Amino acid sequence: MTNYVPAGKTSIIKRGGIAYQLQTEYAYRPYPRITTTILHEGQVIKKIERKLENAIESIEEQNRVQDIIQGQHNEVFRLIRDDSSISKSKPDGSPRPVVNHTVGKVEQTKINLQTSLQTENKDGLEIVKVSEKKSVLERFSSIPGIEHVYQLNNEGEFKSQTAQKQFRKDFKKTFKIITELLDIFPILDQETSYRESGVYVIEQDRLYFVSNGKECYFISIIPDGTLVNFEEAIKAAVFGVLIN
């Protein structure tokens, strides 16, 4: 089994009163590929699949595939944004097409990386693009009202003893149920301990539990008066692209 698994991408898209979920991820069984899935209420609307000639065999190839995932995710995002036939599609239980693309041995793709948070309005959509050049922690710190970001590994262990003591002092009840909170984002790969990604609200506008697949975070908030939807802002920081 390969030990190199790049992080997937997830976006929530709302258009015409209908919410869609866009997921892009890498898989190596039964063959190496990158698949983007468009879902509505848990049902698949369409899949776009890009086959790779080989599985990821090094950290360098993992980084390149990470760029391909980002590029494919953004490409499908633009398709949904600009092609009304996609957004008007509704699941009816019939089989959905898989659009296939094949690329050669894991190759570098050119990605237009953003350098800061930007907001663009097009066709009634609000699109938040987050820098992929910045670390997740840097993206979190750009959100107004963030008090502290506590890092944990996927086993629920704090990466800093000092941070653990502070969290235990400030959030004693939550500290006692960390094991239960981890179950919210189940492990998808036992060998790599890669978890499902997502954002869980523990206390609105105060405390959030986050997984980006590779590690977990507790994020504490002290609102500074700026009007912020913290759940959506955190999702944007974690997943890179978010559409409201």
Predicted confidence at residue 117, as pLDDT, reads: 31
Q: Is 222 exposed, middle or buried (0-12, 13-18, 19+ CB in 10 A)?
A: exposed
- Check residue 176 and give its pLDDT: 95
Q: Which residues of the chain have pLDDT under 70?
A: 1-3, 81-134, 239-244
What pLDDT, on a 0 to 100 scale, did the predictor assign at position 86?
54
Helix and strand numbers, DSSP H then E, in the chain:
7, 14
Q: What is the pLDDT of residue 164?
A: 95
The reported pLDDT for the residue numbered 161 is 92
| In the chain, where the domains are located | 9-112, 136-239
Any idea which fold 136-239 has? Beta-Lactamase (3.30.450)
Q: What is the pLDDT of residue 38?
A: 87
Helix (H) or strand (E) holding 74: helix 59-82
pLDDT of 134: 62
Tell me what pLDDT residue 116 has: 30
Q: What is the pTM of this model?
A: 0.49
**3-state SS assignment for residue 71:** helix
